[in-house]
Amino acid sequence: MRLSDLKPGETGVITKILGHGAFRKRVMEMGFVKGREVTMILNAPLQDPVKYSLMGYEVSLRRAEAQLIETVPVEEWEKHIEDKLHIDIETGEPDGSSVSKDKIINIALVGNPNCGKTSLFNIVSGAHEHVGNYAGVTVGAKAGTMKYKGYLFNVVDLPGTYSLSAYSPEELYVMRYLREETPDIIVNVVVASNLERNLYLTSELIDMNRSMVIALNMYDELEKSKSVLEYEQLGKMLGVPVVPTKAYSGWGIDKLLDTIIEVYELKSPDTRHIHIKMRPEVEDGVRTLVDSFKQDHTLSPKFSPRYLAIKMLEKDPEVERMLKDYSNYKIWCDIRDKANKKIEERLGDDANAIIASEKYGFIQGALAETFQNGEESSEKSTKIIDTFVTNKLFGFPIFLLVMWLMFWTTFQIGSYPMEWIESFVSWLSSEIGEYMADGPFKDLLLDGIIGGVGGVIVFLPNILILYAFISFMEDSGYMARVAFIMDKLMHKMGLHGKSFIPLVMGFGCNVPAIMSTRIIESQSSRLITILINPFISCSARIPIYVLLCGAFFPHYGAWVFTGLYVLGIIVAVLTAKMLRKFWFKADETPFVMELPPYRIPTAKATIRNMWSKAKQYLQKMGGIILVASVIIWALSYFPHYGIDDVPQNFYEKTVAEMPESTLDSYSQDELAEIIANEYQQENSIIGNIGKFVQPVMEPMDFGWKTCCSLLAGCAAKEVVVSTLGVLYVGDDDAELLADRLNTPSKTTGIPPFTPAIAIAFMVFVLLYFPCIASVVAVVKETGSWKYGLFTILYNTLLAWILSFISYRISLLVF
Ligand code: GDP
Ligand code: MG
C-alpha cells in the first residue's frame, strides 16, 4: 500500500521510500523513515497536495510523491517488528578547538527553519531582524554582538536547515559557513515541542564534533502541552548541555549565555564527545574511511573525520567537492563504494536510508528515556483552524477575504492618518513660504525638499498597515497554509506552492521578497519566481496610485487599485508560463514543506517589526528620496534664468498659445512671471533631458515632466511622486499635488494628466524598470547580470506596450 492510498484519518507505517536522490533524502530527513507511523489528515482544496502528520508535526506532500512511500497498516507492522532500536554511546576524545582563551566568543545559531533562531538573535544582540512562522525567513548570515559578564559575544544568525547536506542553497550555505568560519560555539536551537525531528540536525552536529550548546526553545509550548522533558538527562546523553529558553520573551537567555561561557572555558560537566553508533556494516565503512583520512595529514582538521566519512557514505556532493582534489580521493571512493555495496547487500537498503533511520533510532531511544508526552493542546487548535483554512470549500474564499481585508485596511483606514500628515506638510510649507526671505535656499527648501520628501512621507501609514498584515500572516503560520492551498495552481504555472510566499511578500517590497526565494529548492522555479517578482506591485508604488486615483477616480479608486494589482499578477503569471515554456525546462521538485502549528504573534514582535519598517521607510526618505528630490530640483533650477532673460519670441509664442482664461485673470507682471517660470523649466537641464525622452512616450501623451518623473523613478518608485511634486509646482505652494496634476496649465490650457493618461501612467509605473535595489537583488540572487538585464529590458518593453494599449482603451471609455 502506498502512502497516497491512505484516507483521511488513516494511519500507516512506513516500510520503504522509493524514488531517488534529493527527494528521498529530504523526506527521510523530515522523518519519513522505516517504521514510522504517518497519519493522513486532509487533502488541499484541489485534492493536491495532501497533509500528513508524523512525529507530532504536520507536513504536506504532493500526491505523486506520497505514491513513492510504501506503507503497511499498523497492525500488520506490529506483527513483525524485527529490528529493535539500539543506542550505544561511545565516548571519544573531547574536541579542543575552543581553547583559545581570549574573551571573544564567536557563536553561530544553527537549527531547523522556524525554531526561533532569529528571535533569539534579536534578543541577544538587540537587533530587529525579520521573524516569521514559516520556513526560510532568514537568508544569508546576520551578525550582531553583545557584552555579557566581561565576554564579547559575536553572534551569527544562520538560515534554517533540516540537515547538513547540500540539498538546498540554505543548507549549503550553513555547511560552508561552519566549515570556513569555524565558530567557537555552535548554539543548536531546537523546538521543545517537536524534538524528534529537530534532533536529527543535532545528531549531525554531534558527528561534526564541535563545541556546542542546545537551546531548547519554545519551552512555553512544551509546558503548555504538559509534556515533561528531563532535559539535563538528555544533555548528558547527547554530551551537549541543554538550556530551556523562550526566545520571544527572553526567558532563559542568561542561563544560555552562562552555559556558553562554561562550554567555552571547558568547564561544562556535560560536554563530551559521543559517537552515535550505527549498525556494524555502516560502522565498518566509517572506520575504514576514518583510518584512511587520518593517514592523510594534508586533510583540513576543520571537520571531524567521522563526519566526513558519514557524509562520504551518503555521497554528499559538497563533501565530495571538498575532498576531490586530495590525492587519495580515488582510494576513498573505492572504500566507499565497497562499504555501500556491503550495506546494500546485507541490509537491503542504501546507506542514506540506513544512516537516517539509525539516527532517528538513536533519537527515539534518547527521548524514550527522558520525554513524557502530555496532552497536545496547541496541536488541537491548529487542527481546528486548518479544517477551515485549508478546506475545499472555504480555503480560497478565506484567502481572498484576507487579501481584500488587507488592501481595504491599507487604503481606507490608512487614509485618515494620511490626511493628518498631509495637512501638517502643507501647514509647514505655507509657514515657510510666509516667513522665509526669497532666494534659491527658499526654493530648495520649498520646492525641492518639502515638495519632494513631503509628497512621499504622507504614505507612511498605508505602508505600515500593509506591513502589519504581512507580518501577521507570516508570524501566525497562515502564510505556510497559503503556500499549501496554492500549490496546485502554482504548479499549473510551472511553479511551486512555496513560490507564492515571495509573491505575497512582494506586496510589501520586492527586495526582501526576491531574497526570500531561497526557500525554493528547485533552481529553475527559483529563477522564475525572482524574475516575475517585480510585477507584484510593491508598497513603493502605492503613493503613485493613491495620488492619481485620488485626483482622477475619487469614486471608484478602489477598483482601479485592485485592477492594477490584478494586472500585475496576470502579467506575472503569463511571464512565468512563457519562461517555463521557452527558457527553463519543466521540473518536478517535491513539495515538502512543514506546516508549523499556528502561533499568536506577540504584540512586541509585531510592533518591533512595524517599527523597523517605519525606520527603514524614514531612512529611505532621508536618504535616496531626499537626495533624488534635491538633484531633480537642482536640475530644474539650473541654469537659472530671470524674467529679463526670457527672449521676446518665446514670450510672444507662449502668449499666443495661452487660453483666454489665463490672459483675463492675470496682470501683465504676473503673466511675465508665469512665462519666465515656464521658460526656466523648459530650458533647465532636466527640461532638456525630459524633452529628449518625451517622443518615445508621445503615443501615450505623457508630457516631458511626466517623462522626467519616470526616469527619476528608476532610483526608487516613490521618487516618481516626489519628482512630479518638484516639477509641477503650483503658484500657491500649499496647493495639493493631486490638484496641480488636474488643473489646466496656465500656459497651454491643457492639464498635464487626464483620466486616460493617468491609467496609462499607472500601468507603465506598475510594470517598467523595477527600482535599482530590485535589479541589484535580481543580479545578486541569480548570480548573473544577464537576468538583471533581462528584467530591465523585458519589463520596460512590456510596460510600454500595455501602457499604450490601456491608453487607447481608456480614451474610448472616458
Ligand atoms: P527562525 O526561522 O528559526 O529564525 O525562527 P523565527 O525567529 O523567525 O521564529 C519563528 C516563529 O516562532 C515566530 O513566529 C516567533 O514569534 C515564534 N517564536 C520564537 N520563539 C518562541 C518561543 O520561545 N515561544 C513561542 N511560543 N514562539 C516563539
Ligand atoms: Mg530566521
DSSP 92-145: -PPP-TT---SSEEEEEEEESTTSSHHHHHHHHH-------SSTT---S-EEEE
Any atom of ligand 1 within 6 Å of the Cβ of 170: no
Residue 475 Cβ inside 6 Å of ligand 1? The answer reads yes
Shortest-distance Cα residue to atom 9 of ligand 1: 116
Give how far Cα 419 sits from Cα of 412, 414, 619, Å: 11, 9, 22
Copy the grid coordinates of residue 25: 533524502
Nearest CA to ligand 1 atom 27: 218
Cα(134) to ligand 2 centroid in Å equals 9
Probe ligand 1: pick from 112, 115, 131, max atoms within 8 Å of CB? 131
Q: Is 273 in the pocket of ligand 1 (CB under 6 A)?
A: no
Instruction: Please work out, in degrees rounded to the nearest 5, the angle formed at the alpha carbon of residue 678 by the alpha carbons of 676 and 683.
Output: 95
| Distance (Å) from CA 130 to ligand 2 centroid | 7
Give the Cα separation of 417 and 464 in Å (integer). Answer: 11
Pocket test residue of 109, 112, 114, 593 for ligand 1, highest count of atoms within 8 A of CB: 114
Quick check: 281 and 343 in contact, CB under 8 A? Answer: yes
Asked if residue 480 has its Cβ within 6 Å of ligand 1, the reply is: no
Ligand 1 atom with minimal separation from the 217 CA = 23
* Residue 202 CB–ligand 1 contact under 6 Å: no
Q: How far is the CA of 136 from the centre of ligand 2 (A)?
A: 7
> How many angstroms separate the alpha carbon of residue 114 from the centre of ligand 2?
7
Q: Distance from the CA of 334 to the center of ligand 2, in angstroms?
A: 40
Ligand 1: residue of 119, 156, 223, 606 to mutate (most ligand atoms within 8 A of CB) is 119
Give the residue whose CA is nearest to atom 11 of ligand 1.
133
Q: DSSP characters for 601-627?
A: PPHHHHHHHHHHHHHHHHHHIIIIIHH
The rounded Å distance from CA 544 to ligand 2 centre is 33
Place of cell 490601456: 806
If we measure between CA atoms, which residue out of 492, 503, 495 comes closest to residue 521? 495
Q: What is the pTM of this model?
A: 0.66
Query: Which of 248, 249, 378, 600 to mutate for ligand 1's pocket (most ligand atoms within 8 Å of CB)?
Result: 248
477 close to ligand 1 (CB < 6 Angstrom): no
| Atom 22 of ligand 1, residue of closest alpha carbon | 218
Relative to the alpha carbon of 599, which ligand is closest?
1
What pLDDT is stored for residue 93 in this prediction? 36
160 CB under 6 A from ligand 1?
A: yes
Q: Whose atoms come closest to the Cα of 250: which ligand?
A: 1
Amino acid, res. 718? E
130 lines ligand 1 (CB under 6 A): no
* Residues facing residue 71 across a β-bridge: 14
Ligand nearest to the CA of residue 252, numbered in listed order: 1
Residue from 226, 234, 153 nearest 190 by CA: 234
Nearest atom of ligand 1 to the alpha carbon of 477: 14
Strands 50-54 and 57-61: antiparallel
Q: Is 248 in the pocket of ligand 1 (CB under 6 A)?
A: yes
For residue 476, report the distance from its CA to the centre of ligand 1, in Å: 10
User: Atom 2 in ligand 1: which residue has the minimum CA distance?
Assistant: 114
Tens digit of each residue's pLDDT (9 = 90 or more) over 26-79: 787 888 887 888 999 888 888 888 899 888 888 888 887 888 888 888 887 776
Ligand 1 atom with minimal separation from the 605 CA: 16
Residue nearest to atom 12 of ligand 1 (CA): 116
Q: For residues 485 and 44, is the Cβ–Cβ distance under 8 A?
A: yes
Please give the distance, rounded to the nearest whole angstrom, from the Cα atom of residue 360 to the centre of ligand 1: 24
Per the CB < 8 A criterion, the answer to whether 458 and 418 are in contact is: yes
Which residues, at least 6 apart from 198, have a Cβ–Cβ distance to it below 8 Å? 111, 112, 115, 190, 191
Pairing mode of beta strands 142-148, 151-157: antiparallel
Check pocket membership of 116 for ligand 1, CB cut-off 6 A: yes
* Ligand 1 lined by 132 (C-beta under 6 Å): yes
Residue 220 CB less than 6 A away from ligand 1: yes
Stretches where the chain sits below pLDDT 70 are 19-23, 79-102, 128-140, 166-167, 300-302, 375-379, 586-592, 730-735
- Residue 133 CA, ligand 2 centroid: distance in Å: 9
* Separation between Cα atoms, residue 492 and residue 621, nearest integer Å: 40
Q: How far apart are CA 330 and CA 483, in angstroms?
A: 44
CA of 683 to the centre of ligand 2 (A): 53
In ligand 1, which atom is closest to the CA atom of 138?
4
Instruction: Give the residue, by CA position, lying nearest to ligand 1 atom 5.
Output: 116
DSSP single-letter state for residue 535: G
Q: Which helix (H) or strand (E) segment is 59 a member of?
A: strand 57-61
For atom 26 of ligand 1, which residue has the closest CA? 218
Per-residue model confidence as pLDDT tens digits over 161-201: 888 876 677 788 888 888 777 788 999 999 988 888 899 99
Burial 378-411 (b: 16+ CB within 10 A, else e): bbeebbebbeebbbeeebeebbeeebeebbeebb
Query: 252 in ligand 1 pocket by Cβ < 6 Å?
Result: no
Distance from the alpha carbon of residue 787 to the mean position of ligand 1, in angstroms: 34
Ligand nearest to the CA of 110: 1
Q: Please choose, from the candidates 212, 199, 201, 208, the residue with its C-alpha nearest in 3D space to the C-alpha of residue 260.
A: 212
Give yes or no for a contact between 374 and 221, defined as CB atoms under 8 angstroms apart. no
Task: Compute, in angstroms, the gap from residue 119 CA to the centroid of ligand 1.
Answer: 6
246 lines ligand 1 (CB under 6 A): yes
pLDDT score of 377 = 58
Q: In this structure, what C-alpha cell is assigned to residue 707?
A: 517623462
664: Cβ–Cβ under 8 A, 6 or more apart, which residues? none
